[in-house]
């Protein structure tokens, strides 16, 4: 079992919460009463790596060292690029950005090994032992027309995926006779659910070595969501997990091209791929107002479930999303320390680390560090 060196958290309570002045009486409906979603112990084996954190501009994040499965020479190729085809976040250095695009196992002919979610070492890792950097209310973004009152991000799902986000918490409601992604009330911002699925479908097509997960706050029936998957063709890439069986590795999910794990807070199977999230996962509390309130206690689900969602965001003084608070709590040191604290408490790493305003801090870097070092 991994031994986690957990740093005690002592953060100042002076967060500078900004009052939102443009409140309407209806905003009580904008809270996250249904938001949320385990950790698996991710062993780094003999592979070694390093992850670097992003600067305060929030522009992402990590550069993983080449993984190797033997004791002889290892080679890796790097390329200078502005974005990575594997989805791993780029590390800025001067005028260039360098990312590891292939890794070679020593003792072979030198042919590069293809990564899974950015790293070769993750290809043999079961899904329930992988950490996915995730976003809370992923759809609720200023770039998609959501009001600043309820927006949890500045950029939408497409930018999140390109940045390295691999887990998404999405709210779906019925609005104007269709399924829409909203936050609380669709009057303050919405986007057709089909449009969100098309973005995810296109990303998977363009990045065939990536595995994603969705946790729905589903305010519509299962049939309506299934119809959207059928319309977009994304239904061909969903994974159905048989109960009481081990989770497949990322490599196996990629080989089968079932690279999207779908869960929902209210609904559940059938169909078999529409998992009831609290049958397979558990989460921590949420709606924190101060970092001192962070807890690793059980909120929903059972700690016997395979997957673990760590909710990590701090709302402002009137319980609405705060980018200023995200700029503090998403920083590598604090986020990494809390993930280790929860891992020690639960005996396994969180599978989903969900944040607001993902461009603030370094959630992708933290996930890489946990995936590659186990700490």
The answer to whether residues 197 and 208 touch, using CB atoms and an 8 Å cutoff, is no
Per mean pLDDT, which range of 49-53, 138-142, 360-364 is the poorest? Answer: 49-53
Quote the pLDDT of residue 180.
Answer: 98
Quote the pLDDT of residue 35.
Answer: 47
Quote the pLDDT of residue 69.
Answer: 39
Q: What percent of the chain has pLDDT over 90?
A: 68
Beta bridge partners of 350: 39
d(CA 177, CA 11): 46
Quote the pLDDT of residue 112.
Answer: 74
Which of 59 and 110 is assigned the larger pLDDT? 110
Burial environment of residue 214 by CB neighbours within 10 A (0 to 12, 13 to 18, 19 or more): buried
How large is the average pLDDT for residues 4-15? 36
d(CA 250, CA 208): 12
Quote the pLDDT of residue 241.
Answer: 98
d(CA 296, CA 291): 12
Angle at 152 between CA 86 and CA 308, to 5 degrees: 60
Per mean pLDDT, which range of 28-37, 146-155, 178-187 is the poorest? Answer: 28-37
Q: Is the pLDDT of residue 13 over 50?
A: no
pLDDT tens sequence across 269-296? 999 999 999 999 999 999 899 999 999 9
Domains defined along the chain, listed by start: 36-46+123-373 (3.20.20.190)
Which of 289 and 45 is assigned the larger pLDDT? 289
- Quote the pTM value: 0.74
Quote the pLDDT of residue 346.
Answer: 96
Dihedral sign from CA coordinates of 359, 363, 366, 370: negative
291-to-15, 155, 312 alpha-carbon distances in Å = 9, 24, 9
pLDDT tens sequence across 122-142? 999 999 999 999 999 999 999
The answer to whether residues 36 and 65 touch, using CB atoms and an 8 Å cutoff, is no
d(CA 234, CA 108): 36
Q: At residue 185, what are phi and psi to the nearest 5 degrees?
A: -125, 135
Q: Is the pLDDT of residue 239 over 90?
A: yes
Find the length of the chain: 375
Q: Is the pLDDT of residue 14 over 50?
A: no
Q: Is the pLDDT of residue 110 over 70?
A: no
Mean per-residue pLDDT over the chain, rounded: 79
Q: Is the pLDDT of residue 51 over 60?
A: no
Dihedral sign from CA coordinates of 34, 220, 169, 20: negative
pLDDT tens sequence across 325-355? 999 999 999 999 999 999 999 999 999 999 9
Quote the pLDDT of residue 39.
Answer: 36
d(CA 135, CA 214): 10
């Amino acid at each position: 079992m991994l031994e986690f060196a957990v740093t005690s958290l002592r953060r100042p309570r002076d967060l500078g919460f900004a009052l939102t002045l443009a409140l309407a009486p209806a905003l009580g409906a904008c809270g996250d009463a249904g938001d949320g979603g385990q950790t698996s112990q991710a062993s780094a084996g003999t592979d070694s790596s390093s992850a670097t954190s992003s600067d305060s501009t929030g522009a992402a994040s990590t550069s993983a060292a080449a993984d190797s499965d033997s004791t002889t020479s290892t080679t890796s190729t790097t390329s200078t690029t502005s974005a990575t085809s594997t989805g791993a976040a780029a590390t800025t250095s001067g005028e260039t950005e360098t990312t590891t695009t292939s890794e070679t196992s020593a003792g072979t002919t030198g042919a590069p090994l293809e990564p899974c979610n950015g790293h070769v070492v993750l290809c043999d890792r079961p899904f329930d032992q992988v950490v996915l950097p995730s976003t809370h209310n992923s759809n609720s973004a200023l770039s998609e027309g959501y009001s600043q009152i309820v927006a949890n991000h500045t950029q939408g799902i497409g930018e999140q995926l390109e940045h390295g986000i691999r887990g998404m918490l999405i709210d779906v409601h019925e609005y104007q006779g269709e399924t829409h992604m909203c936050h609380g009330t669709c009057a303050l911002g919405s986007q057709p659910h089909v449009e969100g699925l098309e973005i995810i479908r296109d990303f998977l097509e363009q990045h065939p070595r990536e595995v994603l997960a969705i946790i729905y706050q589903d305010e519509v029936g299962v049939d309506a969501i299934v119809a959207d998957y059928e319309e977009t063709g994304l239904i061909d890439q969903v994974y159905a997990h048989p109960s009481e069986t081990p989770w497949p590795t990322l490599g196996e999910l990629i080989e089968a091209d079932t690279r999207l794990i779908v869960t929902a807070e209210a609904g559940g199977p059938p169909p078999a791929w529409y998992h009831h999230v609290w049958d397979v996962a558990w989460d921590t509390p949420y709606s924190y107002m101060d970092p001192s309130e962070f807890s690793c206690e059980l909120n929903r689900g059972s700690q016997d479930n395979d997957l673990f969602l760590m909710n990590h965001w701090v709302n402002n003084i009137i319980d609405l999303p705060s980018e200023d608070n995200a700029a503090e709590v998403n920083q590598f040191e604090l986020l990494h320390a809390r993930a280790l604290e929860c891992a020690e408490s639960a005996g396994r790493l969180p599978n989903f680390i969900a944040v607001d305003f993902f461009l603030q801090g370094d959630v992708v870097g933290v996930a890489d560090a946990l995936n590659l070092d186990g700490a």
